[in-house]
Structures are given as structure tokens and as C-alpha cells.
Amino acid sequence: MGAARLIGAISNVSKGRFTSLVGCTVPVQLAAMGGIGTTELAAAVAGAGGLGMVPAGTQPAAEPCGVNFLMPFSPSLDDITAAAGQRQVVEFFYADPRADVVSAAHGAGAVAGWQVGSVAEAVAAEKAGCDYVVAQGTEAGGHVRGSQRLDDLLAQVLSSVRIPVVAAGGIATAERTAALIRSGADAVRVGTRFVASPESGAHPDYIRMVLAATADDTVLTEWFSDGWANAPHRVLRSSVAAAHKTGWKGTVPPYRGVDRDPSDMAMYAGMGVGDVNRSQPAAEVVADLVRLL
């Protein structure tokens, strides 16, 4: 898609609560994918009008960009404050919402969000002072917090909180994006489709496996648990099968330049993977996701 068509596709999307809150122009948030979520990928999504996201410890990208903290790894309030001073958005995941970390983000001038897997967690996030929540269904790739499919969870969260709600889990098409926005979501969060973008840090073999996979080729497991136990995650079945043979349990996905066979590494992928059948620049992915809005 040429630059003029990209601009035209993106400019047709009206601003809403989430886009106004975080400063982007289209209701698409990049999932912060540990190990392969690069500064370049976040910058490309931001440049196309979405909200770029990077994992904690990754260099900030051009605004609008946010950083994601995984709470099981106990980030300090100083770390959160420092990140919030560099990024527009600070997001937290995989723990009960905490007012102190939200206050740390706000104190440095950032918007604060929490990715949740249940209605109770969404309500707690709002009470903790969060500006938005991400409702994650079990269709999501990577680590999964809750036990409900996205449509059910989204409906319940929307009726329980007043802050903007981002839908996450298995989203890879314009049709699904439009349906979720019509259902009341303020934005969508997408990860797997961006794995195949050239700006991602994914290993070429990982990308090839994603492009060849269907939704039935993913599985929710707890196998890849070194350093992060009792945390279900959705990956490609083939990576679990290979890991069972070698005993590999590392949580890091196959990244570009890894110096080992990537076949038994955690190939995180959501149930929308069957709709990811070609590698596209991140800007084209963003434009395609919002073309029906």
C-alpha cells in the first residue's frame, strides 16, 4: 500500500476516548512483546497513528509510545517513575492492581493502564486510579491472565467500569476490529499479526511458523515456565512438542540472532494466527486493521 493510501485509510478514523487519552489517532495498540518487541516496531505503529508499546527496559520510540511492566518481576517504584518520565503511557500486567504503582506513573506525567483477565480485576484497576484497562481474552498469544473468552469478558468489563476499555485476544483482521469497536471497545490491542512485520525482532523461523499456522495450531500451556511459574501462555503447539523432547522451558521467544535452534523456544501466538498469512510492514497492518471503521 502506498503512502497516500495509508494516510487516507488512517485519516478516516474518528478520534475516541482511548485515542484522545493516549494521543494516538487510530484505536490500535501494539502489544508489548517481550523478546521481540523492538523500538523500531513501536515507532512504526506510532508513525501509522496507533499506540506503540515496548517491554520495560527497551529504548523508547517516537510518541505516542508506552512501556509495559510485568509485575511478577517486581519493578521498583523508581523504575516506574523513570519510565513514566520518558513515555506517554505506562501499563502493568499480571498482578492485582496496585494504587502505588499507578500513582508513580501519574506522578511522572504518564497515563496508566492495566491489562486484566477478569471483571473483578478491571474494577480494582479503576479503583486503583488507572486511566484505562485492557480486557484480555483467553484467545490471546503470550501470557494469559484470565479464563474467559474475549467477547464475554469485554461485555462484562464494559458494564462494570467507566474508563476506556481496550479489547485484546486473537485480533488480527479489520472485520474483528470493527466488530469489537461496535461492541463498545475503545480500541484493540494486537500482537501476533505484528510478529510477522519486518520491524519486529522475531527470528525468521518463528515468522515462518506463524505464517503457516492456523488457530488450531495454538495451545494454552504452562510449559515455558523458567523464572515465571504458574502463568498460562498461548504458543504454537509445535514449539511445545519440540520443547518436550529437549526439556527447554525458557520464556523468551525466538528472537532474531539467537545462537541456538529456535524450534523448541516459546513461539507465542494468539488464536488469530490463522489470519496472519503474509509479512507486512507495521504501518500497513495498522491501516488494514482500521479500514472498516
Positive or negative torsion for Cα 123, 20, 90, 129: negative
Count of beta carbons in the 10 Å neighbourhood of residue 55: 18
CA angle 156, 162, 167 (to 5 degrees): 50
Specify which residues 189 forms β-bridges with. Answer: 29, 168
The answer to whether 161 and 123 have CB atoms below 8 angstroms apart is yes
134, β-bridge pairs:
115, 166
User: Cα dihedral sign for 36, 38, 44, 50?
Assistant: positive
**Nearest Cα residue to 121 out of 165, 59, 68, 63:** 165
Q: Please, are residues 259 and 168 in contact by the beta-carbon 8 Å criterion?
A: no
pLDDT digits 0-9 by tens, 4-56: 444 444 444 546 999 999 999 999 999 999 999 999 999 999 999 999 999 99
What's the confidence (pLDDT) of residue 15?
Answer: 66
DSSP label at residue 60: P
Q: What pLDDT does 59 receive? A: 82
For residue 30, the surrounding DSSP H or E stretch is strand 28-30
CB 118 within 8 A of CB 148: yes
Q: Residue 69: what residue type?
A: F
Query: Cα 229 vs. chain centroid, distance in angstroms?
Result: 20
Its pTM stands at 0.94
Mean pLDDT score, 139-168: 98
Q: Are the C-beta atoms of 201 and 41 separated by less than 8 Å?
A: yes
Nearest to 286 by CA among 61, 5, 29: 29
Ordered by where they begin, the domains of the chain are: 3-196+278-289 (3.20.20.70), 204-273 (no CATH)
- Tell which wins on pLDDT, 76 or 4: 76
Phi, psi of 130 (to 5 degrees): -60, 150
- Residues 255-290 have pLDDT tens digits of 999 999 999 999 999 999 999 999 999 999 999 999
pLDDT digits (tens, 9 = 90+) for 58-71: 887 777 899 999 99
Torsion of CA 159, 190, 235, 202, to 10 degrees: -160
